[in-house]
Chain A
């Protein structure tokens, strides 16, 4: 350890203050602080500080994503081989998925971190850790067969327009990962929706049912999977969104470490359940629904990207509401709108992406009204206290 430290200090020398490559220091610092928590000491204010830092927080999210990612790799292979009707082992299935997904992760990190480093050098600040999470999320919410250049281009759009244009990590309005997905969704719809993209290499085979459950429901057919299959995730879909079990494992870590807001997760589930229950109740009110409205409410919660979006994207602290009350409202509306979009808009069989992006835009407004009630309370206090002021002055 000592030896590595000394080597590093040597490498860093030309990047020091007043040295030749000072400008590029953020890039080197980012690599250095990845290996070592720096020796910086407190200068002003509190002399001691909490052990937590942004790196630790972000890595916790990455850890929470790993079960869903690994399952996604296996499921990609499983869907591929079982649809082709070929025999396969666990490792073959996993290997097939891994070979598709790892290059996507590499492209996403490569392109995204490249831009982040460039901006850090250009703006002269340190590289923020936010992209560690975004960079993993982006491939996880893409269809398995999307070309790598599309992943790269979506990343460029998300980081440049979704984040850096607003001032970088902490300032963005929209969730960057969802911005990437929305970009790909609208720019390359044939690669992002339909019934051909969700199973690996489905286009090679005729007559295979590569549709997602929501897709087939929207088409007026019945879901051909059992609730248990939906819950465990052995269904077609975006890479890591299918397994509710693995997502719940991640959610548990996020909630226990308080990195993800349990308020948002719980209220979003409540919101989705509420909307689905309203739809389920339509027949009893004499309105004939369709397959989507009659889809049982609890199954709405476990199919599609709803669970993944709620746990990993709605809870993004930067784009979510920031006040406690605001988080309840924000979460509830995400769930509520996601199911509504699902049911009402056949063009978008999945609604969670648009629901979260929409609520990202409204989050500052929600916070504004929550804060305003506090401001009002303070103003009213001044009114009732004026008598006291007069005696005091």
Chain B
């Protein structure tokens, strides 16, 4: 059974530098890294020391407050270094890879005929628990919860985002097995959203409720789809999994091994060889792009929600893209004059960029202004297809007013849903950060 979700409000950014649909085997990195900061709110407890020999699937650390969630090595090799930041917080766990992977054998398991507890235990011990995210709060799921539903979005609408249809086309069998496993974890439904390209491969997947999604970004965000399909109420939990990770879970049951496969789309106007690369989780960015000069920004993920990387850092755990765009640290004379600098994209009509709807823009990282108080109204609602009041919610988060945040729908949002809002915001406020801090406050106060 399929249902259609048509999103009207949003923002489709046409940017230069899409990845060509060609899958290339990436060279094996010398080192791989798991970065605890990728897992928001997880406090890592290390179980191995520097110099330890690891197989792919061996535990590296677990989450201090939800001990069942384990984080395992994507490759076999030697633990080279545990990089720490301020207050000895673990920033990166770097593993020097063997030339060939050896795997920890978990044993094959037929997901459809196994009970929920065994499936859960297998997913957790292999480290696949880290793939499962929880809404509200957008954090790694607590395995003690039972979600009311599980949502998977195979729809890509973010600017330059990788095409899920292309990534999943050879993984349909393991994707199906992953669904079989996840289905056991919820008494509710597993919702799978597809768009034009991914529907080609995924419309025959069994055991899911299929949704056809169309519309501008953030239509592909799982949060927007949850909001349309079955919104989260206070006290409820739903889980979300990124589609490629569903297939990794599937592989775990089919082969008995943790195959940390990752497809990375290399995108952005400054990237050469813009293709899809077949690699492993935690690969080094330098293996795909080499050393880049200072005037180029490396982003793990897409331009709206990704993380900034410096040379020799590693691709994020959940990211399927590596984006290179020029830094914009230059001055523009009289940049405030309306109807000038129309080569910079703007959703506002004070620039004439809207007259070129088919033009692909080449964005830089310039802020295009300075931070100000929130003044302009109505611009946020235009790009957020949710039945809530974004500006009021943001102000409630800034003020830390918990009751107001609850009333205005804080449980239904994640920072990434506000990425387009942050992009169009005239006052240049870091809205994703505001929402993140608001959610963090809810975690500590409400839990």
> Interface on A for B, CB 8 Å cutoff?
1, 4-5, 33-57, 59-60, 63, 126, 128-130, 168-171, 256-259, 261, 317-318, 320, 322-324, 327, 367, 371, 374-375, 377-379, 381-382, 385, 388-389, 391-393
Query: A44–B433 Cα gap in the complex (Å)?
Result: 7
B 289-325 to A, binary, CB cutoff 8 A, 1 in contact else 0: 0000000010100011110100000000000000101
B333 touching A385 by the CB < 8 A rule?
no
Query: A318–B378 Cα gap in the complex (Å)?
Result: 11
**What are the residues of chain A within 8 A of B373 when measuring CB–CB?**
128, 168-171
B432 within 8 A of partner (CB): yes
With A48-B325, A50-B424, A256-B349 known as contacts, the answer to whether A322 contacts B187 (CB < 8 A) is no
Which one of B236, B379, B387 lies within 8 Å of A377 (CB-CB)?
Answer: B387
A126 touching B350 by the CB < 8 A rule?
no
Query: A368–B358 Cα gap in the complex (Å)?
Result: 40
A51 touching B147 by the CB < 8 A rule?
no
B88 within 8 A of partner (CB): no
**What are the residues of chain A within 8 A of B332 when measuring CB–CB?**
36-37
B148 touching A41 by the CB < 8 A rule?
no
A56 touching B337 by the CB < 8 A rule?
yes
**What are the residues of chain A within 8 A of B441 when measuring CB–CB?**
none
Query: A385–B389 Cα gap in the complex (Å)?
Result: 22
A322 touching B409 by the CB < 8 A rule?
no
With A47-B308, A318-B375, A392-B146 known as contacts, the answer to whether A54 contacts B427 (CB < 8 A) is yes
List 8 A-B residue pairs with CB atoms under 8 Å apart, sorted by A's residue number: A42-B367, A46-B305, A48-B423, A49-B422, A52-B346, A54-B375, A60-B350, A129-B372
B327 within 8 A of partner (CB): yes
**What are the residues of chain B within 8 A of A57 when measuring CB–CB?**
348, 350, 375-376, 426
Q: How many A-B residue pairs have CB under 8 A?
A: 234
> Number of B interface residues, CB 8 Å?
82
Residue of A nearest to B387 (CB): A374
Which one of B147, B347, B378, B409 lies within 8 Å of A261 (CB-CB)?
Answer: B378
A33 touching B329 by the CB < 8 A rule?
no
Among B174-218, those with CB < 8 Å from A are 186-188
Which one of B147, B308, B381 lies within 8 Å of A324 (CB-CB)?
Answer: B381
B242 within 8 A of partner (CB): no
**What are the residues of chain B within 8 A of A126 when measuring CB–CB?**
370-372
Query: A286–B380 Cα gap in the complex (Å)?
Result: 50
Query: A193–B323 Cα gap in the complex (Å)?
Result: 63
Residue of B nearest to A323 (CB): B389
A-B residue pairs, 6 tightest by C-beta: A53-B369, A37-B335, A170-B373, A55-B336, A392-B148, A51-B346
Query: A188–B406 Cα gap in the complex (Å)?
Result: 49
With A317-B377, A371-B392, A388-B148 known as contacts, the answer to whether A38 contacts B370 (CB < 8 A) is yes
B236 touching A51 by the CB < 8 A rule?
no
Which one of B146, B346, B348 lies within 8 Å of A393 (CB-CB)?
Answer: B146
Residue of A nearest to B147 (CB): A392
Query: A52–B369 Cα gap in the complex (Å)?
Result: 7
Among B422-447, those with CB < 8 Å from A are 422-428, 430-433
B336 touching A39 by the CB < 8 A rule?
no
**What are the residues of chain A within 8 A of B424 when measuring CB–CB?**
50, 52
**What are the residues of chain A within 8 A of B234 when measuring CB–CB?**
382
Residue of B nearest to A55 (CB): B336
With A128-B373, A371-B408 known as contacts, the answer to whether A45 contacts B433 (CB < 8 A) is yes
A63 touching B338 by the CB < 8 A rule?
yes
A35 touching B334 by the CB < 8 A rule?
yes
- Indicate the member of A4, A53, A55, A323 with the most B CB atoms within 10 Å: A53
B328 within 8 A of partner (CB): yes
Query: A64–B306 Cα gap in the complex (Å)?
Result: 39
CB distance from B442 to the nearest CB of A (A): 15
